[in-house]
Amino acid sequence: MTSIDVRDLTKEYGGRRAVDRLTFSVRPGRVTGFLGPNGAGKSTTMRLVLGLDRPTSGTATIGGRPCAALDEPLREVGALLDTGAAHGSRTARDHLRVLAATHRIPGRRVDEVLEEAGLAAVSRNRVRTYSLGMRQRLGIAAALLGDPRVVLLDEPSNGLDPEGIVWIRELLRRLAREGRTVLVSSHLMNETASFADHLVVLGRGRLLADTPVREFVHARAEPRVRVRTPDGAALRDLLARHGYESVAEEGEGAGDRWTVRHARVDDIGRLASGAGVTVLELAAEERTLEQAYLDLTAAEAEFTAMSPSRAQEA
Amino acid sequence: MPFAPALHSEWLKIRTLPSLAAGPAAVVLVTAAFTALAGLDESAGADSDPLFASLFGVVLGQIAAVTFGAQAVSAEFRGGALRLSLSAVPHRGRWFAAKALAVGASALAAGLLAGCASLAVGWAVPGSRAGGPNWGEGLRGVVGCGVYMALMALFAAGLTALLRSGVMTLSILVPFLLVVSFVIGGVSGTAADYLPDKAGQVVLHSTSDGALGPWTGLAVTAVWAAAALAAGAWSVRRRDA
């Protein structure tokens, strides 16, 4: 099985650390979302993993070997890094043929990945006539060309239309099912939540989290319960007595709507029933990856603001 | 990973990009066309060298060769194309050697054709000097023209890899070839004889009055090209893609 292993990886540009003592592993058989704000070091890390940039210190290996030492790299690792990598004056098919020639990959395979990326009909058009979404599809087709065991995609959903988004989601799930190692960077939270099993979160080049998505969301996002009741005052007093903080919402229809923070449906339901408060609606508020992520990065921002040495660097 | 697939890929890159595929053709056309134009000009210097009169177009044809060499490499420095290339051929020395070989071979073929076309035009145009080059000189001129074009294209390719910009390379080389070398190249017997273009062009003349002969002149140009390629290879290997 082929994993990506990043150990103590550091990359400095001038005096600035783009990647700061990063250590994590990307395992096969699941989609790992690579999150972080712009400039957090996601793309730099991917370039380091691919051996395109030289690390200041530390190592990045694929299946235990540095990428530059692989005999047939396209069969081991496929990557989408730059959407502009295909020359505008070349046709999509020629772009892939050039790449395929380096590994003696037959033209049949080129047509296969073009078909898979939904570009078969336009494969003989020049890339400059392509929309951003089509260029992304071409970049993904290039990444899949060598049928690699490891796939790295940098912001693959950029510019894709809704069908494209669904397509990439299905594709990523399938690649993981096939036992491949899939690392996908994004700054779109809901998008990432829809395909990732595992998360690696960066902030300012440092590792903020390396956990399964479910755990990440549950650990970070504050659980809330929404209640609708005709007896708002009684509910508020009841909850306050038990240490819950409840906030009234603008109500329409019968009864008041309340949001209870840091609460679970089971607890609130039992409390209300025990005290005889009428409840018309009771629902857990869906916790999103976005909330969890923003909580995490807000905490990091606070930490950064408090730490004078980091503040000076910034 | 063997060298041949990398070379095949680089060859395909040239063939599938219209602006690059047109480069070698431009070398032939420009060279022949300017030889014809110069031949038609009756007032051209009477002290003209018979071989050089038939290969005069090389002076402008080399601009096409240099442009071709620069473009072939500069295409890699746009939009992250180099990253894609190196992710397929991570051995950077091998990648750059394949690129240089594809460029050099294309330019060599174009240069040989340009030499033949230019000689043919030189003979055909009525205004050409009486006598003209003999067969031996003509053959030497054709081979010299091919090698010279290849070396100039490689010189530009190496420089472009070092500067990471085709525009910068051309804005140095074109004025140099058209102006500087023309002005200071008029005097022979000086260090100017060892400039890459001046030295290499000795092979295009029936007689030479400088320190360099036809083949030693090309050797000097080859040293320039090798130095540029070595600098380019160093840059490709050492810097982040």
Judge: B83–A50 Cβ closer than 8 Å, yes or no. Answer: yes
Report ipTM for this prediction: 0.90
How far is residue B205's CA from residue B215's CA, in Å, rounded to a whole number? 12
Backbone angles phi, psi at B207, to 5 degrees: -130, 150
Tell me the per-residue pLDDT of A229-281, one tens digit each, with 9 for 90 and over.
888 888 888 888 888 887 777 655 556 788 888 888 888 888 888 888 888 88
Query: Tokens in use for A38?
Result: 């712009």
**A51: which chain B residues are within 8 Å (Cβ-Cβ)?**
86, 90
Band the pLDDT of A312: cuts 50, 70, 90: very low
Who contacts B67 (Cβ-Cβ below 8 Å, separation ≥6)? B23, B26, B156, B170
Q: Residue A242, SS3?
A: coil
**A75: which chain B residues are within 8 Å (Cβ-Cβ)?**
none
CB contacts < 8 A, A to B, total: 91
The answer for A 6-35 residues in CB contact with B (under 8 A) is none
Q: Identity (one letter) of the amino acid at B29?
A: L
**B237: which chain A residues are within 8 Å (Cβ-Cβ)?**
none
Ordered structural domains, chain A, with CATH: 4-211 (3.40.50.300), 222-284 (3.30.70.980)
Q: Is the pLDDT of residue A121 over 90?
A: yes
CA atoms within 13 A on the CB side of A61: 10
Residue of chain B nearest A68, judged by CA positions: B90
Sign of CA dihedral A120, A122, A123, A127: negative
Give the residue among B188, B65, B209, B202 at the shortest CA–CA distance from B141.
B202
Q: pLDDT 10s digit of each residue in chain B, 241 long?
A: 689 999 999 999 999 999 999 999 999 999 999 988 887 765 555 456 888 888 989 999 999 999 999 999 999 999 899 999 999 999 999 999 999 999 999 999 999 999 999 999 887 765 555 556 788 888 999 999 999 999 999 999 999 999 999 999 999 999 998 887 777 766 666 778 888 988 999 999 888 777 888 999 999 999 999 999 999 999 999 998 8
Judge: A85–B1 Cβ closer than 8 Å, yes or no. Answer: no
CB B50 within 8 A of CB A28: no
Length of chain B counted residue by residue: 241
Who contacts A182 (Cβ-Cβ below 8 Å, separation ≥6)? A26, A30, A31, A32, A150, A151, A153, A172, A175, A176
Band the pLDDT of A191: cuts 50, 70, 90: confident
**A84: which chain B residues are within 8 Å (Cβ-Cβ)?**
78-81
Q: Where are the domains of chain B?
A: 3-238
Give the residue among B57, B197, B155, B37 at the shortest CA–CA distance from B113.
B57
In the block, which residue shows the tokens 């050089």?
A: B52
